[in-house]
């Protein structure tokens, strides 16, 4: 398929994409300790920042390999390691990378961005109890990199609980672990935490998340000023390094750019006709398929349950910085945890429902990743809920996170998307009759 550039990418997005490369390079210089963790690091970035530790993310590095068309050789190397083919595609990419690393005794020559610097410790975290595999894989990584670990076990209240009754001890558990983590890192690295630096890093984290949240709020406008590719390009600073001053500046710049676009009604696609919700996991190896969506006037306006931060939390005067950090983390899902009981029973589906309405979506793209159950298990359920409660239809795209060999034939995707436009039209009529918001009547 011809690759086109139907979208008007934001200027800032290009800078966002350069962010990770700088970090991976800095880590390779070897002056600062390095931690390998899971996405969003359980909100603990500021603790690492204050102790001068650089967090790197095997998960993120696998997406870099996918984007650079390097995953296939790594996946092939992993195949000889006795690990099942259905395990996480990111993880298998990393294992392949490590096999090569051990064989060559250093970062492999052809590794994207010079490779992933060796860690001093692992920081697995069970982010919202969503990905057991992402925690567990650090046990397996231990086979290749023998370093100590601290697992951030971040609780998420089940919808069977009375939120008000339990929230205090849930948040306290996060605060306690942040403090334990500090002790752990101090012991492993021999460094002492500078409290002033920590306060500053916490404030940066709060500000990064606030601005990033505001950027997403602007995407509710019609026409939408920012497409999915940009949102994914703009994700690394806030997702991986939010405690850095540069991240705050990055989102401030992005916010200004988006505000200008909104004020001047500049849409990301020239002729916006359909607004889409996308879940889950970007197909980094084949992002160009979205160009086709844009050609037919369909733009993804919000993506993924786990990316966009929630609204800024209310922070009590004079709060302890560890507590502030925990509140920020908690805020990402707080509005939905509060109401999950008795609604659709999961904060994930409640969140999608709110988004589908707030972002005035016409349809959803359910990206069923064959190699990522975490983001895929609930997709049929989400589809049912969106249709039943919001009259929003969904299209299933079956694919893999990192392995381009599993993408269905492009002709089929195009043909099914064409039919899906008719489906969206039909449901748009239903929503109009029911008095529900429709962006493009």
The number of residues in the chain equals 441
Per CB under 8 A, does 279 bind other proteins? Answer: no
Q: Do 406 and 400 touch, CB atoms closer than 8 A?
A: yes
Per CB under 8 A, does 345 bind other proteins? Answer: yes
Instruction: From 58, 106, 51, select the one nearest 78 (Cα to Cα).
Output: 58
**Placement of tokens 């919000």 in the chain:** 302
Rounded least distance, CB 5 to other proteins, Å: 22
Distance, in Å, from the CA atom of 20 to the CA atom of 30, rounded to the nearest integer, reads 16
- Contact stretch for other proteins (CB under 8 A) within 66-74, 136-144, 204-212, 309-317: 136-144
Per CB under 8 A, does 374 bind other proteins? Answer: yes
Q: Do 219 and 212 touch, CB atoms closer than 8 A?
A: no
Q: What are 413's two structure tokens? A: 């995707």
Per CB under 8 A, does 415 bind other proteins? Answer: yes
| Site track for other proteins across 174-213, x = CB under 8 A | --xx--x---------------------------------
- Contact stretch for other proteins (CB under 8 A) within 71-79, 151-159, 228-236, 326-334: 151-159
Per CB under 8 A, does 320 bind other proteins? Answer: no
Rounded least distance, CB 136 to other proteins, Å: 5
| Window 37-96: residues binding other proteins (CB under 8 A) | 81-84, 86-88
Residue 39 sits at the vertex; the CA angle it makes with 277 and 139, to the nearest 5 degrees, is 130
- Contact stretch for other proteins (CB under 8 A) within 223-231, 300-308, 324-332, 421-429: 421-429
Q: 278 has which bridge partners?
A: 303, 365
Per CB under 8 A, does 425 bind other proteins? Answer: yes
What separation in angstroms does the CA of 314 have from each of 173, 224, 325, 327, 334? 19, 28, 12, 8, 11
Per CB under 8 A, does 34 bind other proteins? Answer: no
- Strand, helix or coil for residue 325: helix
Per CB under 8 A, does 132 bind other proteins? Answer: yes
Q: 254 has which bridge partners?
A: none
> Out of 166, 193, 266, 407, which residue is the one contacting other proteins (CB under 8 A)?
166
Whose Cβ is closer to other proteins: residue 318's or residue 441's? 441
Q: How many Cα neighbours within 13 Å face the side chain of 92?
A: 25
Contact partners, residue 229, CB within 8 Å, separation at least 6: 7, 9, 13, 287, 290
Per CB under 8 A, does 402 bind other proteins? Answer: no
Per CB under 8 A, does 260 bind other proteins? Answer: no
What separation in angstroms does the CA of 365 have from each of 167, 228, 403? 33, 12, 19
Q: Do 160 and 341 touch, CB atoms closer than 8 A?
A: yes
Per CB under 8 A, does 142 bind other proteins? Answer: yes
Per CB under 8 A, does 384 bind other proteins? Answer: yes
| Window 221-240: residues binding other proteins (CB under 8 A) | none
Per CB under 8 A, does 316 bind other proteins? Answer: no
Site size toward other proteins (CB under 8 A) is: 80
Whose Cβ is closer to other proteins: residue 69's or residue 172's? 172
């Amino acid at each position: 398929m011809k690759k086109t550039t139907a979208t008007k990418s934001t200027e800032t997005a290009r800078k966002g994409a350069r962010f990770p490369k700088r970090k991976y390079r800095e880590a390779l210089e070897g002056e600062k300790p390095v931690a390998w963790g899971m996405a969003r690091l359980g909100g603990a970035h500021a603790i690492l920042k204050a102790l001068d530790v650089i967090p790197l993310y095997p998960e993120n590095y696998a997406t870099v390999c996918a984007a650079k068309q390097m995953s296939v050789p790594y996946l092939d190397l992993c195949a000889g390691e006795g690990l099942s083919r259905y395990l996480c595609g990111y993880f298998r990419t990393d294992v392949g990378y490590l096999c090569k690393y051990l064989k060559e005794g250093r970062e492999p020559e052809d590794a994207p961005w010079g490779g992933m610097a060796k860690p001093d410790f692992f920081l697995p975290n069970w982010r919202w109890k969503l990905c057991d595999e992402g925690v567990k894989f650090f046990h397996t990584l231990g086979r290749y990199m023998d370093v100590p670990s601290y697992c951030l076990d971040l609780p998420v209240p089940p919808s069977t609980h009375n939120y008000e009754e339990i929230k205090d001890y849930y948040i306290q558990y996060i605060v306690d672990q942040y403090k334990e983590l500090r002790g752990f890192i101090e012991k492993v690295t021999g460094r002492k935490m500078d409290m002033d630096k920590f306060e500053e890093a916490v404030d940066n984290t709060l500000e990064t998340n606030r601005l990033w949240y505001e950027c997403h709020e602007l995407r509710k406008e019609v026409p939408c000023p920012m497409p999915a590719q940009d949102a994914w390009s703009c994700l690394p600073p806030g997702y991986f390094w939010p405690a850095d001053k540069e991240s705050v500046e990055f989102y401030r710049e992005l916010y200004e750019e988006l505000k200008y676009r909104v004020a001047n009604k500049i849409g990301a696609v020239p002729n916006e006709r359909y607004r889409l919700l996308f879940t889950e996991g970007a197909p980094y190896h084949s992002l160009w398929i979205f160009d086709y969506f844009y050609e037919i006037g369909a733009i993804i306006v919000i993506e993924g349950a786990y990316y966009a931060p929630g609204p800024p939390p209310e922070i009590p005067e004079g709060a302890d910085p560890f507590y502030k950090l925990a509140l920020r983390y908690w805020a990402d899902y707080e509005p939905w945890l509060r109401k999950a009981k008795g609604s659709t029973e999961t904060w994930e589906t409640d969140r999608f429902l709110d988004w589908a309405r707030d972002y005035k979506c016409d349809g959803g793209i359910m990206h069923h990743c064959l190699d990522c159950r975490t983001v895929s298990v609930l997709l049929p359920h989400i589809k049912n809920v969106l249709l039943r409660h919001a009259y929003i239809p969904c299209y299933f795209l079956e694919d893999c996170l990192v392995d381009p060999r599993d993408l269905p034939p492009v002709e089929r995707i195009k043909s099914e998307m064409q039919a899906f436009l008719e489906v969206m039209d039909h449901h748009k009529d239903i929503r109009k009759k029911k008095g529900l918001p429709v962006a493009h009547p």
